[in-house]
């Protein structure tokens, strides 16, 4: 039986979506890699009764470890540490040595940021952050907030609660120390290796895959299979213990046999495949984009080290920008319109030449919600890619919101480039 953990993410700003949670997924993945199963992530606001209810829910169900994130700041709505102490039956008290270390960290940080701090309010915040439940293990602050491991009070039963800060960089920086803490090690001692494998298809409907999996389901015992369709990519993720490795091999064979023409990856994302294909040839890329307005270039430049292969991109929203920065002929814009296969090809060629890149990518379309016509409805997109050995193009009409059209167009552009560089399923 694998070890099980439950996660509570706190913060009204997360509950209401003003801030997207990155800690729940990060922790779930970090735990999975160690063979620890996460059944659920509970997001609660900054209300004590909701946090208490979530702790009660997660501590109940055969869980070996409960993890909280957030609510460790200096303000009154940051109530996690004290509340977890109460929940575990361990009242909190000031740790003077910790108070001193936090005060020093705050002083360093405010000096760096150039903040003028009021000494009294700073001291009040520091004293709040230095409250430690009796018998808890302190995890040294990465920013200014310490983490805690709070075991249940003597004589009671229940999992320990690991209390981590909300800023992802602080949480991730504290993670090795959290894993090394004795109560956490003991809680996760039962964990066994859990493997994960991903297959990616491009252009297969989810129902086709479902039917194929149903035909072989009695050969897949021991696999937890999840399928997910996103931006036209169909992802098959399996999780399994070492014993189920033969079943995993049978799954891969079955998918390859039935969907070899749309299977494009046994792991890497399309972004990673394209980057590797460019790097292998020592090629560079330049982007000319209209409807995606910078989003495609931002996706190309997201990975560390991308300056090795990305020379740049022009987001040419205005027609003048298309002609003057990317040499799209004004006559072509007048005759075919800015949203046309001709202009997509001209944007790719223009980006290739102006950046002096080996490969150019061009995208034009109507992201909406306005700007559509009967002939060119919202969601119309034209894509083109041009390289030393040839070119590729695709035109289609997408459904969905402005955000969805912009996002999906970047995925289509990456698949077009994948097809040009590596072959495989047509974009």
Interacting residues with a copy of itself between 55 and 94 (CB under 8 A)? 57, 61, 73-77
Which alpha helices (DSSP H) does 114-244 contain, by range?
A: 119-129, 168-180, 182-187, 206-215
13 binds a copy of itself (CB under 8 A): yes
Select from 253, 278, 261, 360 the least CA-distant residue to 313.
Answer: 360
Burial (0-12, 13-18, 19+ Cβ within 10 Å), 389: exposed
- By C-beta, is 114 or 155 nearer to a copy of itself? 114
302 binds a copy of itself (CB under 8 A): yes
244 binds a copy of itself (CB under 8 A): no
Q: Hey, CA dihedral for 314, 306, 169, 197, is it positive or negative?
A: positive
Contact partners, residue 182, CB within 8 Å, separation at least 6? 137
- By C-beta, is 89 or 122 nearer to a copy of itself? 122
Closest distance between a copy of itself and the C-beta of residue 16, in Å? 5
101 binds a copy of itself (CB under 8 A): no
- By C-beta, is 119 or 331 nearer to a copy of itself? 119
User: What are the two backbone dihedrals, phi and then psi, of residue 295, each rounded to the nearest 5 degrees?
Assistant: -65, -35
Structure tokens at 318: 């205005």
281 binds a copy of itself (CB under 8 A): no
Tell me how many degrees the CA angle 308-314-318 measures, rounded to the nearest 5.
175
Pick the piece of the chain touching a copy of itself (CB under 8 A) from 154-162, 179-187, 201-209, 240-248: 201-209
Structure tokens at 249: 């091999």
237 binds a copy of itself (CB under 8 A): yes
Closest distance between a copy of itself and the C-beta of residue 154, in Å? 28
369 binds a copy of itself (CB under 8 A): yes
Q: Report 141-170 residues binding a copy of itself (CB under 8 A).
A: 168-169
324 binds a copy of itself (CB under 8 A): yes
DSSP strand pairing (131-133 vs 92-94)? antiparallel
Select from 78, 176, 90 the least CA-distant residue to 132.
Answer: 90
327 binds a copy of itself (CB under 8 A): no
219 binds a copy of itself (CB under 8 A): no
50 binds a copy of itself (CB under 8 A): yes
Tell me how many degrees the CA angle 381-210-206 measures, rounded to the nearest 5.
10
Q: Report 106-125 residues binding a copy of itself (CB under 8 A).
A: 106, 110, 112-113, 115, 117-118, 120-122, 124-125
Pick the piece of the chain touching a copy of itself (CB under 8 A) from 82-90, 97-105, 182-190, 399-407: 399-407
Longest dimension (CA), the chain: 83
Instruction: Quote the DSSP letter at residue 378.
Output: T
373 binds a copy of itself (CB under 8 A): no
405 binds a copy of itself (CB under 8 A): no
Closest distance between a copy of itself and the C-beta of residue 241, in Å? 15
> Residues in contact with a copy of itself, total (CB under 8 A)?
117
> What is the rounded distance in angstroms from the CA atom of residue 50 to the CA atom of residue 42?
10
Contact partners, residue 68, CB within 8 Å, separation at least 6? 7, 8, 9, 10, 51, 55, 80, 84, 161, 162, 163, 164
> What is the rounded distance in angstroms from the CA atom of residue 380 to the CA atom of residue 409?
10
Pick the piece of the chain touching a copy of itself (CB under 8 A) from 185-193, 206-214, 328-336, 340-348: 206-214
């Amino acid at each position: 039986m694998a070890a099980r953990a439950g996660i509570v993410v706190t913060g009204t700003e997360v509950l209401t979506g003003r801030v997207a949670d990155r800690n729940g997924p990060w922790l779930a993945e970090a735990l999975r890699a160690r063979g620890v199963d996460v059944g659920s992530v509970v997001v609660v606001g900054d209300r004590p009764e909701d946090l208490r209810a979530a702790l009660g829910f997660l501590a109940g169900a055969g869980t070996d470890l409960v993890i909280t994130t957030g609510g460790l700041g200096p303000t009154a709505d940051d109530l996690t540490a004290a509340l977890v102490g109460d929940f575990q039956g361990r009242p909190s008290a000031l740790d003077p040595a910790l108070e001193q270390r936090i005060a020093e960290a705050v002083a360093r940080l405010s000096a760096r940021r150039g903040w003028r701090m009021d000494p009294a309010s700073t001291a009040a915040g520091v004293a709040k952050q230095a409250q430690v439940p009796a018998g808890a293990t302190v995890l040294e602050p990465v920013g200014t907030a310490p983490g805690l491991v709070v075991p249940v009070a003597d004589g009671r039963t229940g999992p320990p609660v690991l209390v981590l800060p909300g800023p992802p960089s602080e949480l991730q920086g504290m993670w090795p120390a959290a894993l090394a803490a004795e109560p956490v090690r003991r809680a996760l001692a039962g964990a066994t290796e859990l493997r994960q494998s991903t297959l990616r298809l491009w252009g297969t409907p989810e129902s086709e895959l479902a039917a194929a999996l149903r035909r072989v389901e009695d050969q897949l015992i021991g696999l937890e299979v999840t399928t997910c369709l996103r931006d036209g990519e169909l992802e098959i993720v399996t999780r399994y213990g070492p014993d189920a490795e033969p079943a995993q091999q049978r799954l891969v064979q079955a998918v390859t046999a039935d969907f070899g023409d749309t299977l494009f990856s046994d792991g890497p994302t399309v972004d990673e495949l394209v980057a590797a294909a460019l790097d292998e040839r020592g090629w560079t890329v330049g982007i000319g984009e209209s409807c995606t307005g910078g989003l495609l270039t931002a996706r190309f430049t997201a990975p560390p080290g991308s300056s090795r292969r990305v020379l740049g991109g022009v987001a040419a929203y205005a027609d003048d920008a298309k002609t003057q920065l990317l040499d799209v002929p004004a006559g072509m814009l007048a005759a075919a319109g800015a949203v046309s296969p001709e202009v997509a090809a001209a944007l790719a060629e223009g980006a290739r030449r102006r950046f002096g890149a080996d490969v150019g990518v061009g995208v034009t379309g109507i992201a909406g919600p306005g700007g559509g016509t009967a002939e060119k409805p919202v969601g119309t997109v034209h894509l083109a890619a041009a390289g030393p050995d040839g070119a590729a193009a695709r035109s289609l009409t997408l459904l969905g919101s402005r955000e969805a059209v912009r996002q999906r167009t970047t995925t289509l552009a990456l698949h077009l480039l994948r097809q040009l560089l590596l072959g495989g399923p047509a974009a």
